[in-house]
A and B are shown apart, each in its own frame.
Chain A
Amino acid sequence: MHAPAPIVADATEKDTATSVSIKDLSLSFGAIDVLTHLDLDVADGEFLVLLGPSGCGKSTLLNCIAGLLDISDGQIFIKGENVTWKEPKDRGIGMVFQSYALYPQMSVEKNLSFGLRNTKMAKDEIARRVARAARILQIEPLLNRKPAALSGGQRQRVAIGRALVRDVDVFLFDEPLSNLDAKLRSELRVEIKRLHQTLDNTMIYVTHDQIEALTLADRIAVMKGGVIQQLDRPLTIYNRPANRFVAGFIGSPAMNFLEGELVETPDGPAFRMSHLMIDLAGYESAEPLRTGRRVTLGVRPEHIALSSEGGQDAYPAQFELDEPMGADSLVWLDLDGQHLSARTSAGNTFDPGQELHVSFAMPMASLFDAETEERL
């Protein structure tokens, strides 16, 4: 298990109070450590996405924030108040689940008001809040229906409404769009973003879908093995991934990884494959590159340019096959014995074995230590 990655506080974006603050949180089920010494601060009004593969602990973390799971160690603060031992209902959170979790025997209106009725709120206040939520989510005509008579998208709106009526400080979303088909998913994604702009609430959103993460988030926390690998703004995560895992997880089509060695040349450090020597000029490393070790060069397909003639910093590669994707096309090449994919405009046709030349946009590339897999 790695030590927790240092969390870069992003003070420039919103210099306001923290909304949710997690300090040294650990959770283990018996002998299995699910979360270990996790720290996380979410700013007021921020949209934070927890992203990671299945079993990385992202949903578990969300359940801990909601108070649905008892943590083993650490503290949770919401709006500056220590809620570590508080019941879910007393934490000022609303939660939206993947399976919608609507109460099947209650009408939409009763579903929305269930939480309020539990607090013994006055009837007219309940009615006012339900009407407001229904108006915001455009589900007014559905108020008397049962969940079974709703479509997937409508159900998820009602589920969001249930959090909305309670006027909570923090919205928690647990993969809310995963059960919807692709078209509805992109529609609701936009609506959630719009909702966030309207309400300006803090939202913590769990997903394994990188598109959702990149499009929705103010910041993304990429998780793996119960540890936050990187916490940053979407574009920073995309362009400057902190380690090889983040680099490989984010981006579709996936980043290319070339294995090689870092060597010293008269022109500065270079990346040596079995025969090729790739110039690293333009690459911004955190500290001066220490040569003489195995490294992985990560380049996204869109940062590779193809040409038929060679030239300065262009390297010979053989065409293997291409995957047309409509607007553009993914071309697979053999570069010095390693596979490489490059994104080109559609319409280019090549013959198998044809010799092409590739050049890399080095400022956009990533270099990882082959052993620690950390960014250099």
Chain B
Amino acid sequence: MSDITMTLPERSLSAGPRGAKPRRRFAPSTIMLYSVLIIAALYYLLPLYVMVVTSLKGMPEIRMGNIFAPPVDITFEPWITAWDSACTGLYCEGIKVGFWNSVKITVPGVIVSIAIASVNGYALANWRFKGSEIFFTILLFGAFIPYQVLLYPLVILLRELGIFSTLTGIVLVHTIFGMPILTLLFRNYFAALPVELFKAARVDGAGFWQIFLQIYLPMSLPIFVVGLILQVTGIWNDFLFGVVFAGSQNYPMTVQLNNIVNAVQGVKQYNVNMAATLLTGAVPLFVYFVSGRLFVRGIAAGAVKG
């Protein structure tokens, strides 16, 4: 800015409005805005509230029927039961078995799919080869095929490979189905990075992996977080593939939860069901809360350049 300051004498200002425009605190538009926001928030939070209070009540209290009432006698028994000893079918070991199964599926699934998709996206964005456009189109086409159509062929495929009903099988399935959207994500992110950076690195003698690992990776944290969140929530929340491909010894948490909640024998233990459901949903929620800001940044970086 210029260092010449305008020094107008105060009295030279006329009587009219001056300075910042005043804002009314309770303007009708403000009230409208906040009411809509509050109602929307309540609409989404109410079921969560019901779940939390129900999970903290004992069964006698629940039977009184007032689902919105806060718990009179707070008990963590349902949570312990849900985790440790709720019955899923024949076994009564709680949902912890499913939790560890889900961890065993999610961790390798997320790592493998992101590792492959990021290299895919990098290659498609920067190392165009003959037919790369067609390859990308076919890959994207995969994103639009309903999963259910592919279930049976995949079952046969995995059976022939000898990995049906194994951890390897389910991880492979998640990797395949994550590939279209993840590759698109990474490709767009890398394509938005300045191409001159890539050229400079090539002039500097860096090859395919050097450019990827030393130049691109350190610049790509936001998009990796996006991929991480998408895959963690996607794989953790998956039910269909888990029930079909994992095999009963590897059933993920969602399948176990279903078995607890839909048990037909005995009394419905609503508090245990609520606790088990909350436990199942905790992991994606945790991941989102920890890295949500980066998530938004990564999504935005792909959409808007600069």
B-binding residues in A (CB < 8 A) = 63, 66, 68, 87-89, 93-95, 97-99, 101-105, 114-115, 118-119, 159, 162, 166, 174
4 A-B pairs with the lowest CB-CB distances in the bound complex, closest first: A89-B205, A115-B204, A101-B196, A101-B200
* B199, CB-defined interface residue at 8 Å: yes
Give Cα A118–Cα B205 distance, bound, in whole angstroms: 6
Which chain B residues lie closer than 8 Å to A118 at the CB level? Answer: 204-206, 210
Instruction: Name B215-236 residues within 8 Å CB distance of A.
Output: 215, 218-219
Which one, A63, A89, A99, A174, contacts B204 given CB within 8 A? A89
Q: Assuming the A-B contacts A95-B199, A97-B196, A98-B196, are A105 and B218 also in contact, with contact meaning beta carbons closer than 8 angstroms in the complex?
A: yes
0 or 1 for each of B188-218: is its CB under 8 Å from A? (1 = yes): 0000001011011111111000100011001
Give Cα A119–Cα B207 distance, bound, in whole angstroms: 11
Q: Contact check, A99 vs B194: say whether CB atoms are below 8 A apart.
A: yes
The smallest C-beta distance from B2 to any residue of chain A, in angstroms, reads: 15
Give Cα A68–Cα B215 distance, bound, in whole angstroms: 17
Q: Which residue of A lies closest to B217 (CB)?
A: A105
Which chain A residues lie closer than 8 Å to B210 at the CB level? Answer: 118
Q: Contact check, A89 vs B202: say whether CB atoms are below 8 A apart.
A: yes
Identify 12 residue pairs between A and B in the complex whose beta-carbon atoms are under 8 Å apart, listed by A's number.
A95-B199, A95-B200, A95-B203, A97-B196, A101-B194, A101-B196, A103-B197, A103-B214, A103-B215, A105-B219, A118-B210, A162-B200
Q: Contact check, B204 vs A97: say whether CB atoms are below 8 A apart.
A: no
Give Cα A97–Cα B202 distance, bound, in whole angstroms: 13
Which one, A66, A99, A115, contacts B205 given CB within 8 A? A115
Give Cα A103–Cα B197 distance, bound, in whole angstroms: 7
Q: Assuming the A-B contacts A105-B218, A118-B210, are A99 and B196 also in contact, with contact meaning beta carbons closer than 8 angstroms in the complex?
A: yes
Q: Contact check, B197 vs A101: say whether CB atoms are below 8 A apart.
A: yes
Which chain B residues lie closer than 8 Å to A88 at the CB level? Answer: 199, 202-203, 205
Which chain B residues lie closer than 8 Å to A114 at the CB level? Answer: 201, 204, 206, 214
Which chain A residues lie closer than 8 Å to B219 at the CB level? Answer: 104-105
The smallest C-beta distance from B132 to any residue of chain A, in angstroms, reads: 14
The secondary-structure label for the interface of chain B is helix
Q: Contact check, B194 vs A68: say whether CB atoms are below 8 A apart.
A: no
Which chain B residues lie closer than 8 Å to A159 at the CB level? Answer: 200
The smallest C-beta distance from B290 to any residue of chain A, in angstroms, reads: 23
0 or 1 for each of B100-121: is its CB under 8 Å from A? (1 = yes): 0000000000000000000000
Which chain A residues lie closer than 8 Å to B214 at the CB level? Answer: 103, 114
Q: Contact check, A66 vs B194: say whether CB atoms are below 8 A apart.
A: no
Which chain A residues lie closer than 8 Å to B197 at the CB level? Answer: 101, 103
Give Cα A184–Cα B206 distance, bound, in whole angstroms: 31
Which chain A residues lie closer than 8 Å to B201 at the CB level? Answer: 103, 114
The smallest C-beta distance from B88 to any residue of chain A, in angstroms, reads: 48
Q: Which residue of B lies closest to A172 (CB)?
A: B203
Number of residues of chain B lying within 8 A (CB) of chain A: 16
Which chain A residues lie closer than 8 Å to B218 at the CB level? Answer: 105
Give Cα A66–Cα B204 distance, bound, in whole angstroms: 11
Q: Contact check, B202 vs A68: say whether CB atoms are below 8 A apart.
A: yes
Give Cα A374–Cα B278 distance, bound, in whole angstroms: 81
The smallest C-beta distance from B216 to any residue of chain A, in angstroms, reads: 10
Which one, B199, B205, B206, B215, contacts A97 given CB within 8 A? B199
Give Cα A68–Cα B200 distance, bound, in whole angstroms: 10
Which chain A residues lie closer than 8 Å to B203 at the CB level? Answer: 66, 68, 88-89, 93-95, 115
Give Cα A102–Cα B194 distance, bound, in whole angstroms: 10
Give Cα A94–Cα B200 distance, bound, in whole angstroms: 9
The smallest C-beta distance from A277 to any residue of chain B, in angstroms, reads: 55
Q: Which of B197, B200, B202, B219 has the most CB of A within 10 A?
A: B200
The smallest C-beta distance from B205 to any residue of chain A, in angstroms, reads: 3
The smallest C-beta distance from A323 to any residue of chain B, in angstroms, reads: 26
Q: Contact check, B199 vs A101: say whether CB atoms are below 8 A apart.
A: yes
Give Cα A102–Cα B198 distance, bound, in whole angstroms: 10
Which one, B204, B206, B215, contacts A162 given CB within 8 A? B204
Give Cα A232–Cα B43 distance, bound, in whole angstroms: 75
Q: Which residue of B lies closest to A98 (CB)?
A: B196
Q: Which residue of B lies closest to A69 (CB)?
A: B199
Which chain B residues lie closer than 8 Å to A95 at the CB level? Answer: 199-200, 203
Give Cα A119–Cα B203 distance, bound, in whole angstroms: 12
The smallest C-beta distance from A127 to any residue of chain B, in angstroms, reads: 17
Give Cα A102–Cα B196 distance, bound, in whole angstroms: 9
Which chain B residues lie closer than 8 Å to A93 at the CB level? Answer: 203
The smallest C-beta distance from A315 to any residue of chain B, in angstroms, reads: 47
Give Cα A332–Cα B70 distance, bound, in whole angstroms: 87
Q: Which residue of A lies closest to B204 (CB)?
A: A115
Q: Which residue of B lies closest to A163 (CB)?
A: B203
Give Cα A247–Cα B214 distance, bound, in whole angstroms: 47
Give Cα A95–Cα B214 distance, bound, in whole angstroms: 19
The smallest C-beta distance from B47 to any residue of chain A, in angstroms, reads: 44
Q: Which residue of A lies closest to B218 (CB)?
A: A105
The smallest C-beta distance from A87 to any residue of chain B, in angstroms, reads: 8
Give Cα A88–Cα B210 distance, bound, in whole angstroms: 15
Supply 17 further A-B pairs (C-beta < 8 A) apart from A103-B214, A105-B219: A63-B199, A68-B203, A88-B199, A94-B203, A95-B200, A98-B196, A101-B196, A101-B197, A101-B199, A101-B200, A103-B197, A103-B201, A114-B201, A114-B214, A115-B203, A159-B200, A162-B204
